[in-house]
């Protein structure tokens, strides 16, 4: 694939302008309800914004955005090409309609996946100049008007009526423009289903922290073949894991290398980007890496925790309050969802099948709870694998899925809840998520 330029022309386009354009596109009507296309756009833009000369390969997008294996066969699975074609169409439609007045335009040229942002070659046609009234020829009023003050009064009244009507039209247009601009800046407000749920975070008056998982910590647990409690994470005991006498020297060296890195997950990044796209930009929440997060912030802020307890130990603060809890066996490398209080028709646990090479099945848990202080709110988004975590993010940021789920509750406000999702995917098909069970929490 050939590399693509971020900008063209003599004057460089500032990164802030380009990022603002991407945020408006991601929050547009064309992409607001298309979670995967929005994730596609945000992913390729993020790669190019970080490295303008990057080459983005089809397999990379397939793995990062659509959950395909790292080296899957693109000849047999054309999901990236199909979605790229649809994304190009929606970009064209956006700039032809909703974004017709944009000064910048974006396109993803055929034959590659690198977004190109450039200034419009030509803007809208200038308005016709209004003639200067001082240069207009003066005409004498008709004799009837010169001789009839009543006629002059009627003409003046009609003129004022027309002026008032024009002013009313202008005010209505200004109101519509402000309303539309507000919806573009904060897309969650424009959709009733998104607004009902996400207003409890964005309109709460409390800062919200989004905390993705620390995948290095999860790998360290795999190396040690045991889970580490939250206390070891909070007091930095994990830094001494490499001194464990039961580990051979080679394992201790591996452990030291892993714990010296702050690695995250592509799926967690995508979920964070999807939430950011709802708000229209930074300022509504703080993105915090799990290893840098503090207990004090957890007491005073709303929290969105992404990832299971294995790689995001902060989930352990709330595990005893969850009915659906993801357990992980670090010896067998097997995740299992525990159902502590099964209802009729529900299983006590849900394991990930290992004997279907043509399919991918996983589970995700979403929990919406009050925080430890009782003043804020906590949202936990965790999956048995990265695809399941991404599917849970799609569920919470997709209008259709949220609307269907909110119908289970009285209209107006979503109560605290837990929901268990099963995600499945056959080779070459989109990821599908279904609600297996849910609970209303107190």
In this predicted model, what pLDDT tens digit does every residue of 203-245 receive, in sequence order? 877 888 899 988 888 887 777 777 777 787 777 777 777 777 7
pLDDT above 80 (res 259):
no
Angle at 264 between CA 91 and CA 339, to 5 degrees: 100
Q: Which of 274, 304, 320 is nearest to 366 (CA)?
A: 304
Residue 334, classed as helix, strand or coil, is: strand
The stretches of 149-265 forming alpha helices (DSSP H) are 149-185, 192-202, 215-224, 230-234, 249-259
* 112-137 pLDDT, tens digit each: 899 999 998 754 444 444 444 444 44
Residue 259, classed as helix, strand or coil, is: helix
* 365-404 pLDDT, tens digit each: 999 999 877 788 999 999 988 889 989 999 998 888 888 9
DSSP 292: G
pLDDT above 70 (res 415):
yes
Give the per-residue pLDDT at 138.
Answer: 45
Residue with tokens 């020297």: 249
* 332-353 pLDDT, tens digit each: 778 899 999 999 999 999 987 6
Contact of 229 with 316, CB cutoff 8 Å = yes
Query: For residues 433 and 113, what is the distance between their CA atoms, to the nearest angstrom?
Result: 27
Mean pLDDT of the chain: 79
Structural domain includes residue 282: yes
Total length of the chain: 442
Model confidence band, residue 5 (pLDDT cutoffs 50, 70, 90): very low
Give the per-residue pLDDT at 171.
Answer: 54
Structural domain includes residue 131: no
pLDDT above 70 (res 145):
no
Give the per-residue pLDDT at 420.
Answer: 96
Domain count for the chain, please give it. 2
Q: Which of 283, 337, 285 is nearest to 310 (CA)?
A: 337
Helix 266-279 / helix 35-50 crossing angle, nearest 10 deg: 100
Around Cβ 164, how many Cβ atoms within 10 Å?
10
Rg (alpha carbons) of the chain, rounded to whole number: 28
Structural domain includes residue 10: no
Q: Token digits for 167?
A: 């002013």
DSSP 13: P
Contact of 54 with 3, CB cutoff 8 Å = yes
How far does CA 98 lie from the centroid of its chain? Answer: 20
Say whether both 68 and 202 belong to one domain.
Answer: no
Give the per-residue pLDDT at 249.
Answer: 79
Say whether both 403 and 282 belong to one domain.
Answer: yes
Query: For residues 48 and 113, what is the distance between their CA atoms, to the nearest angstrom?
Result: 10
Query: For residues 410 and 303, what is the distance between their CA atoms, to the nearest angstrom?
Result: 25
Say whether both 197 and 324 belong to one domain.
Answer: yes
DSSP 127: P
Structural domain includes residue 205: yes
Say whether both 209 and 66 belong to one domain.
Answer: no
Q: Token digits for 341?
A: 């209080």
Residue 406, classed as helix, strand or coil, is: helix
Structural domain includes residue 63: yes
Q: What does the pLDDT average to over 276-280?
A: 74
* 419-431 pLDDT, tens digit each: 999 988 765 555 7
Q: Which of 391, 281, 277 is nearest to 31 (CA)?
A: 277
Structural domain includes residue 358: yes
Last residue of a domain, one of 70, 104, 119: 119
- pTM confidence score: 0.59
Q: Token digits for 420?
A: 């268990």
DSSP 103: S
Structural domain includes residue 181: no
Domain that holds residue 82: 15-119
Model confidence band, residue 144 (pLDDT cutoffs 50, 70, 90): very low
Q: Which of 265, 287, 304, 291 is nearest to 386 (CA)?
A: 265
Q: Which of 91-95, 122-126, 153-157, 371-375 has the highest mean pLDDT?
A: 91-95
Say whether both 77 and 205 belong to one domain.
Answer: no
Last residue of a domain, one of 85, 119, 153: 119
Q: Which of 397, 378, 377, 391 is nearest to 420 (CA)?
A: 391
Last residue of a domain, one of 119, 152, 170: 119
Say whether both 201 and 115 belong to one domain.
Answer: no
Burial class (CB in 10 A: 0-12, 13-18, 19+), 65: buried
Structural domain includes residue 147: no
Say whether both 278 and 423 belong to one domain.
Answer: yes
Query: For residues 117 and 13, what is the distance between their CA atoms, to the nearest angstrom?
Result: 9
């Amino acid at each position: 694939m050939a590399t693509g330029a971020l900008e063209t022309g003599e004057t460089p386009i500032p990164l802030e302008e380009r990022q603002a354009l991407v945020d408006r596109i991601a929050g547009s009507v064309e992409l607001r309800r298309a979670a995967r296309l929005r994730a596609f756009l945000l992913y390729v833009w993020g790669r190019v914004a970080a490295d303008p000369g990057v080459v983005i390969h089809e397999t990379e997008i397939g793995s990062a955005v659509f959950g395909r294996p790292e080296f899957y066969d693109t000849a047999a699975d054309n999901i990236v090409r199909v979605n790229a074609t649809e994304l190009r169409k929606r970009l064209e439609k956006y700039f032809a309609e909703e974004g017709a007045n944009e000064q910048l335009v974006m396109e993803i040229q055929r034959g590659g996946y690198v977004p190109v942002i450039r200034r419009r070659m030509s803007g809208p046609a200038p308005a016709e100049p209004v003639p200067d009234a001082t240069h207009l020829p003066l005409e004498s009023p008709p004799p009837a008007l010169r001789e009839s003050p009543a006629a002059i009064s009627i003409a003046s009244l009609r003129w004022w009526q027309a002026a008032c009507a024009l002013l009313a039209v202008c005010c209505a247009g200004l109101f519509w423009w402000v309303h539309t601009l507000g919806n573009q800046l904060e897309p969650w407000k424009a959709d009733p289903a998104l607004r009902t749920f996400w207003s409890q975070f964005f309109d709460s008056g409390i800062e919200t922290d989004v905390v993705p998982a620390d995948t290095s910590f999860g790998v360290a647990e795999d190396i040690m073949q045991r889970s580490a409690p939250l206390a070891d994470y909070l007091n930095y005991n994990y830094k001494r894991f490499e001194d464990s006498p039961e580990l051979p020297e080679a394992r201790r060296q591996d452990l030291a290398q892993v714990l010296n890195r702050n690695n995250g997950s592509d799926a967690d990044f995508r979920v964070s980007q999807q939430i950011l796209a709802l708000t229209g930009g930074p300022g509504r929440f703080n993105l915090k890496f799990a290893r840098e997060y503090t207990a004090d912030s957890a007491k005073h802020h709303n929290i969105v925790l992404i990832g299971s307890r294995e790689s995001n130990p902060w989930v352990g603060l709330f595990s005893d309050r969850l009915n659906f809890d993801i357990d992980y066996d670090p010896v067998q490398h097997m995740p299992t969802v525990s159902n502590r209080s099964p209802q009729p028709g529900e299983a006590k646990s849900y394991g990930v099948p290992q004997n279907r090479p043509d399919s991918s099945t996983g589970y995700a848990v979403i929990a919406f709870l009050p925080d430890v202080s009782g003043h804020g709110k906590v949202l936990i988004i965790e999956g048995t694998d990265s695809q399941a975590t991404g599917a849970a993010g799609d569920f919470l940021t997709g209008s259709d899925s949220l609307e269907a789920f909110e119908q289970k509750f009285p209209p107006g406000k979503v109560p605290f809840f837990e929901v268990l999702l099963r995600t499945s995917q056959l080779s070459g098909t989109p990821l599908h998520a279904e609600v297996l069970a849910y609970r209303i929490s107190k």
